[in-house]
């Protein structure tokens, strides 16, 4: 999913998605919604953040992988979704399940669920944390493009970091802000223009988007952005995690994040540097991608940053993306820990 920005832009311009039009025309500055998280300085924590337990986070990756690939409409997907709902409830969240149906480019009708866990729901100032919990139905970049894969990094890693944050939110000192965790469904069934010939799924031109969809990717975040779980819901800002668990990961400042939420992006990367993670969180801007944050920014009007794997030589997503080697062997506890610690430091710096 989420191909290069150049492919995205083609795809998005094709479908007249306004964000991509802005990007492709170079009319970026001043065109987006105003970013609400304007404070770029990294504040001292109001309360010392609780300890992020990397072993616990890793166990949450393994638990998801153990269900099998979380492919929508499969038993593994249903069981994993039920598990996520139970875990959020166990950690004290108020849970909302947003069930909906939608179609894929290759003619499937999917029953999807966005799962939302709210902590400190009475607080006005809120931070939204998100990751997608579904797995792509085929490893279309693999030698065997019809194979299924575990999605340990693509999907499970971000969910695992957020489950661990949910766990420590309940056990540690509360932050000064409310937290909403959203597990988006249906992110990864999109049409990849680079691989469609390998999987024999037809030319993209044969699959025009139906009314109401802006992309075949990110079905859950598109639905949520147009139908928020609370009618007037907003957040101060959002942070999306995607592919945040592989050993030797790198996170660069992603282009759509820098367009819509530059102050928050800079704050996250500065916090990472202060915690000693400057080599993981590289202080360099790269191109933009289609990921769940693009729709939260564009449609829901909440400034949202994507922390997503970018390989210094290969670019976005590295060489395990949508391949069978995206399995537990890839996952490094130290990467999960770095991302989790940075997130907690950012959350607990808010007043
Ligand atoms: Zn993917």
Q: Dig out the tokens for 243 from the structure.
A: 């592919």
pLDDT in tens, 235-294: 999 999 999 999 999 999 999 999 999 999 999 999 999 999 999 999 999 999 999 999
pLDDT in tens, 8-43: 332 333 333 344 433 333 333 333 334 544 454 555
Ligand 1 centroid–CA 274 distance in Å is: 30
pLDDT in tens, 131-179: 999 999 999 999 999 999 999 999 999 999 999 999 999 988 999 999 9
Ligand 1 centroid–CA 110 distance in Å is: 17
Ligand 1 centroid–CA 310 distance in Å is: 13
Ligand 1 centroid–CA 2 distance in Å is: 7
Distance between CA atoms of residues 207 and 203, nearest Å = 7
Going from the C-alpha of 311 to that of each of 132, 302, 316, 317, 340, the distances in angstroms are 20, 27, 6, 7, 20
Neighbours of ion ligand 1 (CB under 5 A): 1, 136, 154, 188
CB 317, CB 256: distance < 8 Å: no
Ligand 1 centroid–CA 188 distance in Å is: 5
Ligand 1 centroid–CA 249 distance in Å is: 16
Which pTM does this prediction carry?
0.89
Q: What is the DSSP string of 303-314?
A: -EEEEEBEETTT
- Note every long-range contact of 313-319, with CB atoms under 8 Å and residues 24 or more positions apart, other chains counting: 315/4, 315/286, 316/2, 316/4, 316/5, 316/286, 316/287, 316/289, 317/2, 317/154, 317/243, 318/243, 318/246
Question: Exposed, middle or buried by CB within 10 Å (0-12, 13-18, 19+), for 333?
Answer: middle
Distance between CA atoms of residues 175 and 173, nearest Å = 7
Longest CA pairwise span in the chain (Å) = 54
Sequence-separated (6 or more) residues with CB below 8 Å from residue 343: 129, 161, 165, 239, 241
CB 344, CB 54: distance < 8 Å: no
């Amino acid at each position: 999913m989420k191909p290069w920005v150049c492919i995205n832009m083609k795809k998005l311009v094709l479908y007249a998605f306004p964000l991509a039009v802005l990007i492709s025309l170079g009319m970026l500055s001043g065109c987006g919604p105003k970013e609400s998280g304007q404070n770029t300085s990294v504040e001292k924590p109001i309360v010392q953040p609780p300890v992020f337990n990397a072993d616990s986070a890793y166990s949450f990756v393994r638990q998801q992988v153990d269900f099998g690939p979380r492919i929508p409409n499969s038993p593994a997907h249903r069981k994993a979704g039920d598990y996520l709902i139970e875990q959020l409830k166990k950690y004290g969240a108020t849970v909302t399940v947003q069930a909906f149906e939608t179609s894929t480019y290759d003619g499937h009708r999917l029953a999807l669920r966005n799962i939302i866990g709210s902590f400190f729901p009475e607080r006005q100032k809120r931070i939204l944390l998100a990751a997608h919990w579904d797995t792509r139905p085929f490893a279309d970049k693999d030698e065997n493009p019809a194979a299924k894969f575990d999605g340990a990094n693509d999907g499970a890693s971000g969910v695992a970091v957020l489950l661990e944050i949910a766990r420590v939110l309940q056990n540690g000192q509360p932050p000064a802000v409310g937290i909403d965790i959203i597990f988006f469904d249906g992110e990864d069934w999109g049409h990849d223009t680079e691989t469609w010939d390998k999987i024999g799924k037809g030319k993209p031109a044969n699959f025009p988007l139906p009314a109401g969809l802006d992309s075949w990717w990110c079905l859950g975040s598109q639905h949520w952005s147009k139908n928020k779980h609370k009618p007037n819901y907003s957040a101060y800002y959002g942070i999306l995690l995607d592919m945040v668990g592989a050993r030797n990961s790198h996170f660069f400042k992603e282009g759509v994040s820098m367009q819509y939420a530059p102050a928050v992006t800079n704050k996250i990367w500065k916090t990472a540097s202060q915690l000693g993670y400057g080599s993981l969180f590289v202080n360099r801007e790269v191109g933009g991608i289609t990921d769940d944050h693009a729709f939260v920014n564009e449609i829901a009007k909440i400034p949202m940053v994507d922390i997503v794997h970018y390989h210094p030589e290969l670019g976005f997503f590295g060489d395990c993306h949508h391949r069978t080697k995206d399995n537990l062997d890839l996952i490094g506890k130290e990467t999960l820990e770095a991302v989790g610690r940075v997130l907690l430091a950012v959350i607990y710096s808010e007043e």
